């Protein structure tokens, strides 16, 4: 299932071994590489602009980015990301659910995800995870260059229309 706003055609050059879910996830990763200040990008539907989301609270940001790092291997982490994003943007909850299902190949609101075991420290290579998370952290220069819109009523969420 691919949401209307998720255009996978730009990844046609990617290996045919990728599943539709991994192509959708790779597209998300590519978009985030281009906009490192953001934590997630909700792809616009039917000609609407994409919505980039940045989590301002540092603890929430670290939890979210840790979950994003773990999500390809641990369904529980997909649920953590979905919960945070849908709390921040309840108006986009259905679209976020559909997009994350396309990206990870599982429904983030399903009982299987919600009841999945939480990964333990021994399941995760902490040093690799920290390198990956901090590599995506924006520099002060990137933050200064970025024009920012704060979502009304969501002071802890930073949204940028890209």
Which residue ranges make up each domain of the chain? 8-161
Give CA–CA dist 80/68, Å, rounded: 9
CA 143, chain centre distance (Å): 19
Q: Are the CB atoms for 159 and 52 separated by under 8 Å?
A: yes
pLDDT at 87 over 90: yes
Residue 52 has φ and ψ, to the nearest 5°, of: -90, 135
Average pLDDT of the segment spanning 86-91: 94
Residue 3 token pair: 């949401």
pLDDT recorded at residue 41: 94
Least confident of 52-61, 91-100, 113-122: 113-122
Residue 70's pLDDT band, with cuts at 50, 70 and 90, is confident
Greatest CA separation found in the chain? 44
pTM: 0.66
Separation of alpha carbons 7 and 48, rounded Å? 13
How far CA 97 is from CA of 12, 31, 137, in Å, comes to: 24, 18, 25
């Amino acid at each position: 299932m691919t949401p209307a706003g998720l255009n996978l055609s730009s990844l046609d050059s990617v290996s045919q071994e990728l599943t539709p879910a991994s192509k959708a996830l790779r597209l998300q990763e590519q978009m985030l590489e281009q906009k490192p200040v953001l934590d997630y990008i909700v792809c616009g539907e039917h000609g609407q602009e994409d919505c980039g989301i940045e989590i301002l609270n540092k603890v929430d940001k670290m939890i979210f980015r840790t979950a994003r790092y773990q999500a390809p291997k641990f369904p529980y982490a997909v649920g953590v990301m979905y919960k945070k994003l849908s709390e921040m943007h309840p108006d986009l909850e259905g679209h976020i659910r559909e997009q994350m299902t396309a990206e990870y190949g599982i429904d983030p609101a399903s009982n299987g995800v919600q009841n999945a075991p939480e990964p333990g420290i021994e399941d995760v290579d902490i040093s690799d995870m920290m390198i990956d998370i901090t590599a995506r952290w924006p520099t002060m220069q990137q933050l200064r260059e970025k024009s920012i819109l704060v979502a009304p009523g969501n002071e802890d969420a930073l949204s940028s229309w890209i």
